[in-house]
Amino acid sequence: IFFCLRNMIKSLSIIVPFYNEELRLKESFNHILNFIKKKPAFKIEIIFVDDGSDDNSYELINRFIKNSRKNNKIKFKIIKSKKNLGKGSALKLGIKKAKYDWILTTDIDMSVSLFQIYHWLKKKLINKKYFVYFATRTHKQSIVQANFFRQVLGDIGSLLKLIILNIKIKDTQCGYKLYKKTIAKLVFSKLKNQGYEHDMEIILLLKLRNIGIKELPVKWKHKKYSKLNVFWDPIKMFIGMLIIRFRYF
């Protein structure tokens, strides 16, 4: 496995956007600590991006970073936005600061384990043919623990994306995505959408540049205290699709 890892990925920047997540941070910190206890096969930096939180999230993460800096295997950074602009904006900030060869984006709740990338590499799913990889919960090999209503919303969203934006990627919204640094910095620098719909714009930006996306299986688990609003968020997503369509078609 380590031979494989060194050949494909020499260094990795992990971008973790967050907004008012103090209720979920304890579990996330435990997961990150377990991750850094394992000897990384390559250089890693973890960049937390605070999207204008007004709770204690920033202070809690800052304290966690200070306590973890004695571990010299992994570098930590934290960036704070003055305003709550949206997940797309937070990722754009983090990717701009990323220094390492590959960039992994992931959600603060760790619904996908940080160890997932090791599983992909071990199975040789990451290769020289692609520079962008999306975790896809609808992949036949994926293991997903989600409630039925959320899965139905996802299926409806996939159909609308196909009709409105001609996006054939099955799962655009899973936050676990891997990019070659040069590709990530290029497309995110062009990103206009600052909210949750940014994933769809990223796909179109990649498509315009003939950059392929490889969908990979993932183990995903729903975590409590999710801020998904099952009424308003689908409406906002639909409006976001229309805006993106107007911009690109």
Per-residue pLDDT tens over the stretch 125-184: 999 899 999 999 999 999 998 766 667 777 788 888 999 999 999 899 999 999 999 999
Residue 236 — pLDDT band, cuts 50, 70, 90? confident
How remote is the C-alpha of 68 from its chain's centroid?
A: 22
Residue 2 — pLDDT band, cuts 50, 70, 90? very low
Say if residue 148 is exposed, middle or buried (CB neighbours under 10 Å; 0-12, 13-18, 19+). Answer: exposed
For 167: left if phi > 0, alpha if psi spans -120 to 50, otherwise beta; the answer is beta
Say yes or no to pLDDT of 86 above 70.
Answer: yes
Does residue 21 contact residue 108 with C-beta atoms inside 8 Å? yes
Structure tokens at 212: 């392929």
What DSSP line would sit under 39-92, residue for residue?
--SSEEEEEEEE-S--SSHHHHHHHHHHHHTT-TTEEEEEEE-SS---HHHHHH
Structure tokens at 151: 């899965």
Instruction: Give the lowest-confidence range in 28-32, 75-79, 138-142, 236-240.
Output: 236-240
| Helix or strand holding residue 144 (H, E) | strand 143-145
How close are the terminal C-alpha atoms of the chain, in Å?
Answer: 44
| Helix or strand holding residue 156 (H, E) | helix 148-165
Mean per-residue pLDDT, 94-107: 97
What is the three-class DSSP state of 177?
strand
Span 21-68, pLDDT tens digits: 999 999 999 999 999 888 777 899 999 999 999 999 999 999 999 988
